[in-house]
Structure 1
Amino acid sequence: MDNPIHRRCALLRLVVRAAAAAVLLLLLSPAAVTPAAGHNDHGVHKNYLVIVRSPYEYDKKLHQNVSSWHASLLSSVCDSAKETLEADPSAMTRLIYSYRNVVNGFAARMTLEELEKMSKMDWFDRALPEQTYHLLTTHTPEMLGLMGGPRRGGLWNTSNMGEGVIIGILDDGIYAGHPSFDGAGMKPPPAKWKGRCDFNKTVCNNKLIGARSYFESAKWKWKGLRDPVLPISEGQHGTHTSSTAAGAFVPNASVFGNGVGTATGMAPRAHIAFYQVCYEQKGCDRDDILAAVDDAIEDGVDILSLSLGHEDAVDFSDDPVSLGGYTAILNGVFICAAAGNTGPSPATLVNEAPWLLTVGASTSDRRFVASVKLGDKSELDGESLNDPKTTMGDPRPLVQDVDGTCASESVLLAQKITGKIIICDAGGVVSTEKAKMAKRAGAAGMIVVSPEVFGPVVIPRPHAIPTVQVPYATGQKIKSYMQTSRDATATFVFKGSMFKTPQSPMVAPFSSRGPNRRSRGILKPDLIGPGVNVLAGVPSIEDVELAPKAEVPRFDIKSGTSMAAPHLGGIAALIKHAHPTWSPAAIKSALMTTAETTDNLRKPIADVDGKPATFLALGAGHVNPQKAIDPGLVYNMTAAGYVPYLCGLNYTDQKVNTIIYPEPPVSCANLSRLEQDDLNYPSITAILDQPPFTATANRSVTNVGAASSTYVVEVEVPASVKVEVNPPKLTFRVLDEVLNYSVTIKSADGRAPASPVEGQLKWVSGKYVVRSPLLVVAGTRQA
């Protein structure tokens, strides 16, 4: 009987032999496999990321390229497949991706029998089953001090708006026709750009210079997912993040009349290279992410911004963001990644590797204000995206449904809510769906009460009827009024955008928190940036019913650490333009040591409970781009500097070599292991794990400020710990000079701290203040 699996294996071996004979026939392009005509999946095969044991590499005399070699490794086990796929007699491509930069390995479809045989090969290290990652989802340039005229300065003047820098975005699709991606006035990308655009030539331009889609792995999991390369999907999320990082100037941008002004990204003259790795309601496949980073590095990007992650704390050697991120910095590419949206619970961070800039989210000082004017004449503020010109007229009766959530059409009865304002708690379904149901029942308006955990933070959305969203505490005041008034009434007053919100920035309630689960000695997040109610480009606004022939809105408000990460990616592009020779570590250090720890009232940045935010929520502080471009000193590192640190984490040699590929393999037995607190990181975490509860951290700083300068140390810590810095003074004579210092942290009473202790270490010289958060914790060094 003709077995289709054997037939496909024979085809694979034929290709391998042809490649070995120097015939130009490849299983895949330099980036990916050419898809076969049919790819039905009947559950026999699954996707795996196969890691090849170091120091195995291919014989260039036998194989034309790494793809040919990987195909030969796969074909060596193909005959062991026992099941048949009689319903799919077409030749199925088994090799999905052959990686060149990010990892020594390949992605392939295999049966358990094939995997079992492969595991006995001497070149085989391990195979990781498929895993899905998820997206972590106009005023901010002014708020961050990027703008400014000739007299006022501003980072855009210093950095020429990031001109010539290429920002790579990995996300869920991009609406290429959006005005934020207009290439008018943009210079061509630099000669190093080697990428391509899978849109037609009239869509890509000198702003959006690249657009590619990765789906070879994802397509096997989701029936009906077709080749999305032409065109790449018009993703809401990806359009928003891309325009935030480097969108062009777009005048008269707003959301239904709110936030009117000129919209722009952080680096308006930077180029955008877009890589689609995520699909709506399906997520982002690990092997596709790796393939995109693999290509982005070769394409010539300078910055990578990733608003995606996986909530399970996996090993650095198994995580595509960590693997791709290391190879990125090895090639001088700065990489920032979202911290995650599962706060405020502790230990919820993603993207924790120290070579990444891990970004949490903050509020801005702009609100879209609307008030609820009650029948007792009191007026309570909330937020709304209704057009500020909207009027409600006379007060309307206030009502509430049975369970308070308005989550079912069966309780939103016309006879109970027609012509009235209904108040709804969070829960059940999203508020935009509640508004549609309330509209069908004839409601005049809706009040939405935010969850208690959100504190004073409100995240407004457009609704089908006039709606005001209020903080939890405000909602309780409205309900109390309803209970004490026989004929409770209310009306709305829409006030539009208001600025200088007191106590801003504030840590966003959803922003994921530390500690770092994979490396307790490295403080994460690194810092926070704007991620609440960010106005940026979209293909159209979701969940809104527009009038016939109405103009489709092209901007929307979104919130998440997904929105914070591209802010930092764009700001990093500005710094890269101003300092083209700086390493990724130097840029990261500049951003962290100049971050702000106080809000616009000069008080410590608060969490949503009103208390000062801890380092596990705040990191080093809130980004200050104006200071970051001239930090004075930087904590610099090469990629090789992380290798002793990985050995210090007790990673096996093979895991270390998986991460550092394509660097030559190393043996930790031949290297000095580096404790986590000795990594040359801009923040300092001391773990007091055993008597006498003392730790010493060593650091090196590079002078990038004034050539001749002296810095004096200042340490601020609670009385429960004692800190000694040696030497207490650093004198530099030339630029780029490197000096060392050590920090010894002791428990004042000889006992381990009962709770984390926070302080700060600052090197001060004239206008420069180089600050490191200092965190002291008890417990073991291993997570």
Structure 2
Amino acid sequence: MNPFMDMKRYSYCLNAMLFQFFLFVLLSLLSEGIESDTTVYIVYMGAPGNKNEDPVSDHLELISSITASKKPHSQGLLVRSYMNGFSGFAARLTAQHAAAMAKQPQVVSVFVDPFLQLHTTRSWDFLQEHTELEPYSDMDSDSGSRNNTNTIIGLLDTGVWPESPSFDDMDMGAIPARWKGVCMEGKDFNSSYCNRKLIGARYYKDNSPSVAWTAQDTPRDTLGHGTHTSSTAAGSLVAGANYYGLAAGIAKGGSPTSRLAVYKVCTEEGCKGSAILAAFDDAIGDGVDILSLSLGASPFFKPDFVNDPIAIGAFHATQHGILVVCSAGNGGPDSSSVVNSAPWILTVAATTIDRDFESDLVLGSGGSTTTKTIKGEAINFSNLNKSPVYPLIYGGTAGSNSSSQDEASNCNPGSLDGEKIKGKIVLCQHTDQGYSKKEKMNGVKSLGGFGVALVDNEERYVAFDYDTFPATALSSASAKEVLSHINSTRNPVATILPTVAVTKFKPAPTVAYFSSRGPSTDTKNILKPDVAAPGVNILAAYIPTSGSSVPPGQSPSQFNLLSGTSMACPHVSGIAALIKSKHPTWSPSAIRSAIMTTATETDNSKAQMTTDSGSSATPYDYGTGEVNPTGALQPGLIYETSGEDYFFFLCNYGYNSSSIKIISGKTGNYTCPSNSSIESISDLNYPSIAIVNLDNKSGKTVKRTVTNVGIDMETIYTATVKAPKGLDVKVSPDRLQFTETSKSLSYQVTFASSGSSIKKDAFGSITWSNGKHSVKTTFVVSVS
């Protein structure tokens, strides 16, 4: 179930009164001097200025100087100002005025306010069982933070449904005194909805007086996405959670005792960049510890860092000690589709868990008691006879006179002959994805078909919700068996069974087909995504609104099963909050390092992780591996990346010194190193290593520094290298001796080709171990 699937189909027809109202507003704006060809632009001005200054007045003065407007505020030119974590504003400008604004010395970049996308298409129990470590409910009991955590997770999403039991604040202590946020009132939402769990809620409306109030001006979630991600990150324990009987158990977030602050930046239309930047600005001022964003740009249009609201906001949040966790996007399985790939962002891919939603197709033949069961995957609450008594037909043989063979075999709407499929179960291909599975299902249903079995290798392990209609998804191998049965049986019959949840499914985790892949097109010198986490068929809180998806006789569920990197991101945010509660002084990069270096690359059958199609997976698919919640709490060693390191990254990426001075807020002269180059990005003190265009003759050497954060101050770590054939990897020194006074030590890694057998992209790892901790640094090397 995707709350955005039918978004484009909302009616925008206006009655006469609405038309007159908007005409009145338009005429009013024009009468005040707003030019009709204006567009909202974001003007980014780097680090915040002097706190004693009035940034709003400065922004109005700048707008006035460019537009020659004497009343920029009353004319609605200034949409909103940013002043807590960074400086800038959103304003209505013409293209000519925007170009002039970009030339101002205090301005870093000017870009059109973009619309970004939400990344939606037993998880905690599985993570613990998979790593075979102690239950996470006890992992921080030694510090006492389990019952007393003050960690605050901020969610930039679609809002929240505050009545959900996942946001109950029972047994939680007082709200941290450092919290400076608010609980904004809006439509169907008042301040009493916030509590000791849900401590803050904001929404974003244009500040200009010309913009009318809308029904979206509320922190309340009307889509479900934000409620789902919030409860995944930090939902309270809820016994008996289920989706109409499926996936029953205890629902819980990754950090159940953390606080939540929601920032509603997304509506049915998408996620406006100016609102995202405003939420970052507010979150920095409010005092959050972790920010979780299950949204991003399209993989087909990825803006540069200084034109990307998420990259800008995350950069300044990181400078203020806030770890920003983002979804990698749903552009998979295409390569180079990963988004949110700035090195100051923790980027999360999506994997499956060991739960399968099985809906089987049972084959038979008329007059015979012999049956054969074909495993399928789907969510349906059908009430067909469990015995195979319904005629079975292939869509390719039931086409209408006006349709092609391919259209009919795919059961495209309008391609089938109703007389041929009425009262039957139809086998349909899904190679033509111009129509959704739901559209094909509705087409079969409208013609009187009793059920549908869709052949879909890609989406086989992502259970689509078909409501009460009998439907399932089959692999192409299973479909061959079904076709053979149809062609070899005089009277083929079948039935589709209602869904049952099967646990301990193997192999798991696997990389989900939709999860965006690396390498990043921003820079291949940073491995992205960083890690992977459960993102397929995740049960979490939802908005209990009634609709066609509610099975007859049931009340709307307070939970839902959703898939996407949107669901993977808050898993990591919850883990990050746990680490922060146990190590409150750790920096964002220390927390990121702990998560990345303890991740695992094996599945529950002890084999190397694969994709959900069965092919071998690589770090371009899952980063350093599947997150390990318990291991990340005690990583042994960490890689610290400082703010200065990120400034050098920007130098190496190609930004000039003057821009970086504005971005960083540095006083005096700032000059990038004279040897700045894109290749030097590989030297960023990152928990993974990426080498691009390795020279077969000279090779490449990079440096890393690790800090001992283990209990044992006096300890020795030794390095073990796992490298593919054809690549020579040397670590120097390969032995690190830490003491009370030597907590941080450096090493170098030299990569060289040792033959012609190395592939275009070679993957491996360096693991530092002291017998108690294993610290894995994944590397990828591409040859020139």
Q: TM-score range by the shorter chain?
A: 0.7 to 0.9
Equivalent of 1:696, from 689, 698, 701?
A: 701
Residue 761 (structure 1) aligned with residue 766 (structure 2): yes
CA contact (8 A) 1:541 1:556 kept: no
1:294-305 equivalent positions in 2, closer than 5 A: 294-305=281-292
- Equivalent-residue separation in structure 1 for 2:696 and 2:132 (angstroms): 54
Per the alignment, residue 46 of structure 1 pairs with: 39
Question: 1:152–1:191: structure 2 CA closer, same or farther, 3 Å change rule?
Answer: closer
Give the deviation of 1:653 after TM superposition: 2.2
| Higher mean displacement: 733-742 or 437-446 | 437-446
Residue of structure 2 equivalent to 1:445: 451
1:461 offset after TM fit, Å? 1.1
Instruction: Name the count of aligned residue pairs.
Output: 726
Correspondence 1:430 to 2:419: no
Contact 1:215 1:277 in 2 (8 A): no
Partner of 1:11: none
Deviations 1:534-555 (A, max 9, x none): 1111113787344677411111
Q: 2:687 aligns with which of 682, 686, 705?
A: 682
Q: 2:178 aligns with which of 186, 192, 196?
A: 192
Q: Distance in 2 between matches of 1:551 and 1:716?
A: 54
1:250 aligns with 238
Q: Check if 1:385 corresponds to 2:379.
A: yes
1:211 shift after superposition: 1.0
SS at match of 2:717: strand
Following superposition, the deviation at residue 267 of structure 1 comes to 1.0
Residue 350 of structure 1 deviates from its aligned partner by 0.3
Aligned pairs for 1:57-76 (under 5 A) are 60=52, 64-76=53-65
1:489–1:339: structure 2 CA closer, same or farther, 3 Å change rule? same
Indicate the percent of aligned positions where both proteins have the same amino acid: 36
**Closer, same or farther in 2 for the Cα pair 1:760/1:123, shift >3 Å?**
closer
Is 2:480 the partner of 1:496?
Answer: no
Q: Secondary structure at the match of 2:391?
A: strand
1:129 equivalent in structure 2? 112
- 2:276 equivalent to 1:286: no
Cα contact 2:536–2:564 (8 A) shared by 1: yes
Range with bigger deviation, 39-48 or 192-201: 39-48
1:36 to partner: Cα distance: 13
CA contact (8 A) 2:536 2:563 kept: yes
Query: Deviation at 1:495?
Result: 5.8
Do the aligned residues in 2 keep the contact of 1:644 with 1:672 (CA within 8 Å)?
Answer: no
Instruction: Provide Cα deviations, 1:456-482, integer angstroms capped at 9, x if missing partner.
Output: 523231423122222343233323322
Deviation at 1:677, TM superposition (A): 1.5
Alignment partners' CA distance in 2, 1:686 and 1:125: 30
1:202 is aligned, of 166, 186, 192, to 192
Summarize deviations over 1:50-82 as a string: whole Å, max 9, x none. 234x7995795xxx511111111111223279x
Distance 1:397 1:216 in 2: 58
1:244 match: secondary structure: helix
Is this contact kept in 2: 1:522–1:684, CA < 8 A?
Answer: yes
CA shift in 2, pair 1:172/1:553, >3 Å = same
Task: Find the residue that maps to 1:74 and give its secondary structure.
Answer: helix
Contact kept? 1:255, 1:385, Cα under 8 Å: no
Inter-partner Cα distance in structure 1 for 2:500 and 2:632: 33
* Comparing 99-108 and 360-369, the one that deviates more: 99-108
- CA deviations on 1:136-194 (whole Å, 9 max, x unpaired) are 11x01111229999999743646517822110000122212212112222223211111
Change (3 A) 1:557 1:722: same
**Residue identity matched to 1:136:** H
> Does the Cα contact within 8 Å between 1:37 and 1:90 map onto a contact in 2?
no
**167-176 or 694-703, which moves further after superposition?**
167-176
User: Do the aligned partners of 1:102 and 1:290 also contact (CA within 8 Å) in 2?
Assistant: no
Unaligned 5+ segments in structure 2 are 1-24, 365-369, 400-407
Q: Structure 2 CA distance, aligned partners of 1:565 and 1:39?
A: 41
Equivalent position amino acid for 1:288 in 2: A
2:163 counterpart letter in structure 1? G
Q: What secondary structure, in the 3-state scheme, does the structure 1 residue paired with 2:630 have?
A: helix
Question: What is the aligned partner in structure 1 of residue 609 from structure 2?
Answer: 605
**Alignment of 1:560 onto 2:564:** yes
| Alpha-carbon distance, 1:669 to partner | 3.8
> For the structure 1 residues 149 and 344, does the alpha-carbon distance in structure 2 shift closer, same or farther, using more than 3 Å as the test?
closer
- Distance (Å, rounded) in 2 between the aligned partners of 1:202 and 1:554: 20
Deviates more, 1:638-647 or 1:39-48: 39-48
Letter in 2 for 1:744: T
**CA 332–504 in structure 1, closer or farther in 2 if over 3 Å, else same:** same
Q: Distance in 2 between matches of 1:665 and 1:367?
A: 60
Q: State the match for 1:399 in structure 2.
A: 393
Assess if the C-alpha contact under 8 Å between 2:109 and 2:306 holds in 1: no
Residue in structure 2 matching 1:595, options 599, 611, 626: 599
1:32 maps to what in 2?
none
> CA–CA distance in 1 between the matches of 2:267 and 2:347?
23
Which digits, 9 at most, give the CA deviation of each residue in 1:125-145, with x for residues without a partner?
5421221111111x0111122
CA RMSD of aligned residues (A): 3.2
**2-structure distance, mates of 1:513, 1:122:** 38
Q: Which residue of 1 aligns with 2:316?
A: 327
- Aligned runs of 1:210-229 on 2, under 5 Å? 210-216=200-206, 226=214, 228-229=216-217
- Whole-Å separation in 2 of the counterparts to 1:689 and 1:435: 50
- Residues 444 and 688 (structure 1), Cα distance of their counterparts in 2 relative to 1, 3 Å cut: closer
Structure 2 counterparts to residues 15-164 of structure 1, below 5 A: 43-52=36-45, 60=52, 64-79=53-68, 91-118=74-101, 121-137=104-120, 139-145=122-128, 154-155=138-139, 157=141, 160=146, 163-164=149-150
Alpha-carbon contact 2:341-2:347 (below 8 Å) kept: yes
Partner of 2:8: none
CA deviations on 1:97-130 (whole Å, 9 max, x unpaired) are: 2111444321100123433554565545542122
- Contact 1:537/1:554 (CA < 8 Å) preserved in 2? yes
Change (3 A) 1:271 1:465: same
- Structure 1: stretches of 5+ with no match in the other structure: 1-34
**Relative to 1, partners in 2 of residues 1:576 and 1:122: Cα closer, same or farther, differing over 3 Å?**
closer
Structure 2 CA distance, aligned partners of 1:407 and 1:555? 32
Match of 1:356 in 2: 345
Moved more, 199-208 or 98-107: 98-107
1:257/1:387 contact within 8 Å kept: no
Residue aligned with 2:193, SS: coil
Matched, 1:717 2:706: no
Is residue 90–residue 274 contact of structure 2 (8 Å, CA) maintained in 1? yes
Q: How does 1:326-345 map to 2 (within 5 A)?
A: 326-345=315-334
3-state SS of paired residue (2:611) = coil
State the partner residue of 1:166: 152
How many angstroms apart in 2 are the aligned matches of 1:744 and 1:39?
Answer: 63
Match among 457, 463, 470 for residue 466 of structure 1: 470
Amino acid at match of 1:676: I
Equivalent position amino acid for 1:699 in 2: R
Q: Is the 8 A contact 2:392 2:424 kept in 1?
A: yes
Alignment CA distance shift 1:183-1:148 (3 Å): farther
Counterpart of 2:509 in structure 1 is 505
* Deviation for aligned residue 1:512: 0.5
- Measure how far apart 1:230 and its partner are: 3.4
**Counterpart-to-counterpart distance in 2, 1:736 and 1:537:** 47
Q: Which amino acid aligns with 1:377?
A: T
Deviation for aligned residue 1:632: 0.7
Q: Distance in 1 between matches of 2:545 and 2:531?
A: 30
In 2, Cα distance between equivalents of 1:634 and 1:56: 30
Distance across 2 between alignment mates of 1:770 and 1:36: 61
Aligned twin of 2:651: 647
Measured at CA, do residues 583 and 197 of structure 1 come closer, stay the same or move farther in structure 2, by a change above 3 Å? same
One-letter code of the match for 1:379?
T
Give, in whole Å, the separation in 2 of the partners of 1:297 and 1:219: 26
**Structure 1: 4+ residue segments shifted above 6 A:** 35-42, 146-153, 217-220
Tell me the secondary structure at the aligned position of residue 144 of structure 1. helix
Match of 2:671 among 668, 672, 687: 668
Q: Quick check: 1:525–1:619 contact (8 Å CA) kept in 2? A: yes
Give the Cα separation in 2 of the matches to 1:500 and 1:446. Answer: 27
Q: Are residue 747 (structure 1) and residue 753 (structure 2) matched?
A: yes
Q: Provide the C-alpha distance between the structure 2 equivalents of 1:379 and 1:314, rounded to a whole number of angstroms.
A: 49
With normalisation by structure 2, the TM-score equals: 0.86
**What SS does structure 2 have at the residue aligned with 1:76?**
helix
